Amino acid sequence: MARRQKKNAPSIVVTVTGKITVAPKRIKCQTGKVMAVATMRVQSDKRSDYPLGAIALMRWRYR
């Protein structure tokens, strides 16, 4: 039986501007990784202002 080849979906790029409304804070996920969470009020040309939560994985490097 032949396998179907997956086609790459086109990337979606969105540019937004905004101001941070809630200061970034550190959280731990269930796997123990440390992440940072911040909330910002975002403006877009497609819709009115809305809150957006940004989550980032924090990686530490020691030398």
pLDDT tens digit sequence for 19-40: 888 888 888 888 888 888 889 8
Please say if the pLDDT value at position 51 is more than 80: yes
Q: How confident is the model at residue 4 (pLDDT cuts 50, 70, 90)?
A: low
Helix or strand holding residue 24 (H, E): strand 17-28
pLDDT band at 43 (very low <50, low <70, confident <90, very high): confident
Q: Which of 13, 19, 28 has the alpha carbon at shortest distance from 50?
A: 19
pTM higher than the cut 0.85? no
CA–CA–CA angle 29, 33, 34 (5° rounding)? 90
CB atoms within 10 A of CB 22: 12
Confidence of residue 5 (pLDDT cuts 50, 70, 90): low
